[in-house]
């Protein structure tokens, strides 16, 4: 089934800070196998394809300056998202991205625990599903979401992260986040590119 969030990052949209997205995902057997995240203000498109669906190769891409371009022009200008350690340098410490609107005490404690293992973290604050896309593209290493989200908030960017080689796991477990649950409220989760 298709899962669409026509305006992810409502608070960011109202604040007019440009950090909102349009998200479209295809879910098969509880797993996002295709994800498209569009950032209208930046004219940036993220696409993730899992398992080589529909004759497309498996992978994740980012295309910029998409407004007014044909699909072929967008796909022709898209760059593959780096995520694996052999494709991007590891900085000292971690780059942790967190919610602009929902950073709470539990999230701060999680980040403090990370710093005990990995050293000082750089904290980046962003809105909407852009946080997952940052992990997919390698501009952030980890995104802990220890606050409520709905399935439509995460599915498209989840597909992008996984197609780029990352993980989206239920917080405190080794279980992947799944979709089409009886309750559409997501459990807390951690997105990782490391």
CB under 8 Å to 177, separation ≥6 — which residues? 154, 158, 168, 169, 170, 186, 187, 189
Q: Quick one: pLDDT at residue 89?
A: 47
**Per-residue pLDDT, 53:** 62
Alpha-carbon 23 to chain mean position: 10
Q: Looking at the 3D structure of the chain, how many domains does it have?
A: 1
At 129, which CATH number?
A: 3.40.190.80
- Residue 100's pLDDT is 67
The pLDDT tens digits of the residues spanning 53-97 come to 666 778 899 999 998 899 889 888 888 886 555 545 455 678 999
Span 143-189, pLDDT tens digits: 999 999 999 999 999 999 999 999 999 999 999 999 999 999 999 99
> Which single residue is written with the structure tokens 């026509």?
6
Q: What does residue 75 show for φ and ψ, rounded to 5 degrees?
A: -65, -35
pLDDT score at 163: 93
- Tens digits of per-residue pLDDT, 1-42? 999 999 998 888 898 888 999 999 999 999 999 999 999 999
> What residues have CB less than 8 Å from 190, skipping those under 6 apart?
110, 142, 143, 144, 145, 168, 169, 171
* DSSP-derived 3-state class of residue 33: strand
SS3 content of the chain, % helix, strand, coil (to 5): 30, 30, 40
- What pLDDT, in 10s, does the model give residues 111-144? 999 888 888 788 898 888 999 999 999 999 999 9
Ramachandran category for residue 132: left, alpha or beta (phi over 0 → left; psi -120 to 50 → alpha): alpha
Q: What is the pLDDT of residue 50?
A: 84
Comparison of pLDDT for 55 and 107, the residue scoring more? 107
pTM of the prediction?
0.91
Q: What are the E-state strand segments in the chain?
A: 2-8, 21-28, 31-39, 44-49, 59-63, 79-80, 95-99, 122-126, 142-145, 167-170, 189-192
What pLDDT score was predicted for residue 44? 95
Find the distance separating the first CA and the last CA of the chain, reported in whole Å.
Answer: 30
DSSP for residue 3: E
Q: Residue 106 is part of which domain span? A: 1-194
Pairing of strands 2-8, 44-49: unpaired
């Amino acid at each position: 089934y298709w899962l669409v969030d026509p305006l992810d990052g409502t608070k960011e949209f109202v604040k007019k800070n440009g950090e909102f997205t349009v998200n479209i995902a295809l879910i098969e057997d509880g797993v996002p196998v295709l994800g498209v995240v569009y950032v209208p203000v930046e004219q940036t498109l993220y696409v993730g394809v899992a398992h080589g669906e529909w004759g497309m190769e498996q992978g994740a891409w980012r295309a910029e300056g998409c407004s007014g371009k044909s699909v072929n022009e967008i796909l022709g200008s898209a760059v593959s998202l780096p995520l694996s350690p052999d494709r991007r340098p590891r900085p000292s410490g971690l780059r942790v991205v967190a919610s602009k609107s929902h950073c709470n005490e539990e999230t701060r404690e999680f980040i403090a625990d990370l710093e005990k293992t990995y050293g000082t973290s750089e904290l980046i604050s962003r809105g909407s599903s852009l946080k997952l896309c940052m992990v997919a593209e390698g501009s952030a290493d980890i995104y802990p979401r220890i606050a409520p989200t709905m399935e439509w908030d995460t599915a498209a960017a989840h597909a992008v992260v996984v197609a780029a080689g990352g993980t989206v796991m239920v917080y405190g477990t080794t279980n992947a986040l799944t979709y089409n649950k009886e309750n559409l409220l997501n459990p807390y989760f951690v997105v990782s590119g490391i």
